[in-house]
Amino acid sequence: MKLFTGLSAFSITPTDASGRVDTAALARLLERISAARADSIGLLGSTGGYAFLSRHERQRAVESAMACVGGKIPVIVGVGALRTDEAQAHARDARKAGANGLLLAPMSYTPLTDEEVFQHILAVAEAGELPLCIYNNPSTTRFTFTDDLIVRLASAPNIVAVKMPLPTHGNVKAEITRLRRRTPDGFAIGYSGDWGAADALLAGCDAWYSVIAGLLPSEAVALTRAAQAGDAREVERLDQAFQPLWSLFKEFGSFRVMYAIADALGLCRAAPPRPILPLPPTDMPRVKDALDRILI
Amino acid sequence: MKLFTGLSAFSITPTDASGRVDTAALARLLERISAARADSIGLLGSTGGYAFLSRHERQRAVESAMACVGGKIPVIVGVGALRTDEAQAHARDARKAGANGLLLAPMSYTPLTDEEVFQHILAVAEAGELPLCIYNNPSTTRFTFTDDLIVRLASAPNIVAVKMPLPTHGNVKAEITRLRRRTPDGFAIGYSGDWGAADALLAGCDAWYSVIAGLLPSEAVALTRAAQAGDAREVERLDQAFQPLWSLFKEFGSFRVMYAIADALGLCRAAPPRPILPLPPTDMPRVKDALDRILI
């Protein structure tokens, strides 16, 4: 199986209030993902709160991840930063720690131009010397990739995949077809946005970059395998069970809900990094009800 | 004159390619602002690239600023960060270095809720123990303040001003009237967006948070004083001279254009932090032409 295909499970990164990574708690989460036979781990993605962690803590997270699941499951590491040189440093750190692939979102403060994002990603891919997935996530970076920019990047060294958001208009199948036609053979096109994963998988995308798989890996693996087998009815059945949780993701943002799920499942008691606030306790019963619908 | 009134001139922060602040070049820029008798300096604002600088470099910038212009002109320091504890640390650093006021934008990666921004700003204002201006800048933070949130913050300790973007609909005078009616006496309402400054000043706003004043302080002071004297014709005449420059700001973003202006004026040769790219050399003649129209 290629690196950027199948189910990529994105873990939260448990930390204390000062942003120090709880490596023991992280290891427990990653071992569950590995045991459930997801196809890869997405470490330090948006769900992993990479934007809120220092270089040192990101390094600690990658090193402890590789120590516990390295060799058992490929680990893809988010290396985004506001500065190009910092993103390059994160990419080098990840490679030295043994990461298998990189994920790069064009984080921004000053809104970026297409040319700036092109040169930024090229520079990080070159420094990282690992297969890199373009992380197209307008809701956090506020940068929207055009097809042209993805196509331009797809022919550069080390850039082998893209993680797309769900299309806001048009259907996902048409988008995949359009991008496949213009990108090199083997360039992997995957999707995030858990509530659209069933559609995207059935439409033939290469990968599901899944938030929920970070905490419910077995259930997300089941949905992925059903889709890969072309069993649309089973996919539909499993996706239906996820619906109450997808509603919570849309209402509160998946980042906040994931901490509540980890708590509800007794996996760890970490809180999201301030200024992000945890879910109000009054909404916890909804989280528990949603989980009851899903758990295998 | 109160701290958050009149002309606040925002300086770029010259650095080398690695993000180390050139304190000598910064001092030259700040002394020009002070000599032109602007009402305050905005240090480490968006124009100052605070989002791209380490805590240590931000500290060096504030310390060198206070050493060169402290006591001559009030210095307002931008203390935004993605983490609440980091923004608090920047605020404490600024106070220890002798800053006169703080400016805080709700930088975000994961989109923030109103309650998160409220608690974030409150926590930083408390830690900073200095007069603080809410920095409402949706184009960089992608957070849009409601009137309700500004009003709620305006009654909290240390929060004494807001820096508004130009209204996207409705007129600036109506907005000022609306906010004045709901905020405490003395709460200062100022505007950024240089091309709308003439209107905002004539409409009676308390402050112009000016990008161009960082490099053309005398010309921006002239416009401000004409507006404060109610001389609409002189304001119009001066604003007309700025038009070609406002066009460049809109086309390329003021952040990129400011480095080109500093270069054209021979003030410093710094480049913006990568991934931000400098203006293409082919556009430099337009910058020089625009400057020729303005320079007193």
pLDDT, one tens digit per residue, over B179-194 is: 999 999 999 999 999 9
Q: How far apart are the first and last CA of chain A?
A: 25
The closest of A50, A160, A179, A148 to A105, measured between CA atoms, is A50
A93 Rama sector, left if φ>0, alpha if ψ -120 to 50, beta otherwise: alpha
Question: B263 in a domain, yes or no?
Answer: no
CB contact under 8 A, B83 and A110: no
Preceding peptide of B280 cis, ω within 30°: no
**Of A85, A109, A139, Cβ closest to residue B18:** A85
Instruction: Decide if A244 touches B, using CB distance below 8 A.
Output: no
> CB contact, 8 Å: B116 with chain A?
yes
The percentage of chain B sitting over the pLDDT mark of 90, rounded to a whole number, equals 98
Tokens matching residue B173: 């005078």
| Residue B286 CA, distance from chain mean position | 24
Which residues between 183 and 202 in chain A have a beta carbon less than 8 angstroms from any beta carbon of chain B? none
A123 shares contact with chain B (CB less than 8 Å)? yes
Nearest-Cα distance to chain B for A290, in Å, is 23
User: B85 and A115 in contact by Cβ < 8 A?
Assistant: no
Q: Is the pLDDT reported for residue B61 higher than 80?
A: yes
Q: What local confidence, expressed as pLDDT, does residue B170 receive? A: 77
Structure tokens at A231: 């069993």
Q: Is A274 on the interface with B (CB under 8 A)?
A: yes
Taking each continuous run of H as one helix and of E as one strand, the counts in chain B are 12, 8
Give me the sign of the Cα torsion angle A117, A118, A120, A121: positive
Q: Kindly give the parts of chain A with pLDDT less than 70.
A: 1, 296
Amino acid at A85: D
Q: How many domains does chain A have?
A: 1
Q: Cβ of A110 and B46 within 8 Å?
A: yes
Residue B112: DSSP 8-state: P
**Residue B147 distance to chain A (closest CA, Å):** 20
Both tokens of A265, joined, read: 């499942």
* Greatest Cα pair distance in chain B: 50
Tracing tokens 């990108």 back to the chain, one arrives at A183
User: Pairing mode, if any, of strands A207-210 and B6-10?
Assistant: unpaired
Residue of B nearest to A86 (CA): B18
Supply the pLDDT for residue A1. Answer: 60
Q: Which residue in the set A18, A85, A106 is minimally distant from B274, CB to CB?
A: A85
Residue keyed to tokens 């010259």: B14
Interchain CB contact of A120 with B (< 8 Å): yes
Instruction: Please give the pLDDT value at position A285.
Output: 97
Q: Interhelix angle for B114-128 vs B147-154, to 10°?
A: 30
Task: Let me know if residue A279 belongs to a domain.
Answer: no
In three-state secondary structure terms, B168 is coil
DSSP chain A: --TTSEEEEEPP--B-TTS-B-HHHHHHHHHHHHHTT-SEEEESSTTTTGGGS-HHHHHHHHHHHHHHHTTTS-EEEE---SSHHHHHHHHHHHHHTT-SEEEE----SSPPPHHHHHHHHHHHHHHH-S-EEEE--HHHH-----HHHHHHHHTSTTEEEEEEPPPSSS-HHHHHHHHHHHS-TT-EEEE--GGGHHHHHHTT-SEEEESGGGT-HHHHHHHHHHHHTT-HHHHHHHHHHHHHHHHHHHHH-HHHHHHHHHHHTTS----PPTTSPPPPGGGHHHHHHHHHHH--
Q: How far apart are the first and last CA of chain B?
A: 25
Nearest to B252 by CA among B220, B224, B223, B290: B290
| Closest to A161 in 3D by CA, of A4, A2, A1 | A4
Residue A275 lies in a domain: no
Task: Establish if A138 belongs to a structural domain.
Answer: yes
Among A52, A84, A142, whose Cβ lies nearest the Cβ of B275? Answer: A84
- Please report the sign of the dihedral spanned by the C-alpha atoms of residue A7, residue A284, residue A12, residue A46: positive
Whether B278 and chain A come into contact, CB under 8 Å, resolves to no
Residue-number span of the structural domain to which B36 is assigned: 6-231
Rounded CA-CA distance A97/B286 in Å is 48
Please check whether residue A294 lies inside any domain of the structure.
no
CB A148 within 8 A of CB A174: no
Q: With 90 as the cut, is the pLDDT of residue B169 above it?
A: no
CB crowding A2-30: b at 16 or more within 10 Å, else e: ebbbbbbbbbbbbbeeebebbbebbbebb
- Tell me how far apart the alpha carbons of residues B215 and B261 are, in angstroms, rounded to a whole number: 8
d(CA A136, CA A144): 7
C-alpha dist (Å) from residue A3 to A76, A129, B143:
8, 15, 35
What CA–CA distance (Å, rounded) separates B28 from B75?
15
- What's the rounded mean pLDDT across residues B20-45? 98
Residue B83, in any domain of the structure: yes
- Interatomic CA distance for residues A261 and A264, integer angstroms: 5
B259 in reach of chain A (CB within 8 A):
no
**Euclidean distance between CA atoms B271 and A289, whole angstroms:** 54
Active site includes B259? Answer: no
**Active-site choice (A96, A109, A163, A209):** A163
Quick check: is B74 in a domain?
yes
Residue B1: pLDDT over 70: no
> Rounded to the nearest 5 degrees, what angle is found at the Cα of A149, between the Cα atoms of A148 and A154?
100
> Taking a contact as any Cβ pair under 8 Å apart, which residues of chain A between 141 and 160 contact chain B?
142
Cα–Cα distance, B107 to A274 (Å, whole number): 12
Query: pLDDT tens, B213-264?
Result: 999 999 999 999 999 999 999 999 999 999 999 999 999 999 999 999 999 9
- Quickly tell me which residue has 């303040």 as its tokens: B145
Inside any domain, residue B280? no
Total residues belonging to chain A: 296
CA dihedral (B65, B77, B197, B233) in degrees, to 10, reads -40
Q: For this structure, is B191 an active site residue? A: no
SS (H, E, C) A231-295: CHHHHHHHHHHHHHHHHHHHHHCHHHHHHHHHHHCCCCCCCCCCCCCCCCHHHHHHHHHHHHHHC
The CATH number of residue A67's host domain is 3.20.20.70
Report whether B141 belongs to an annotated binding site: no
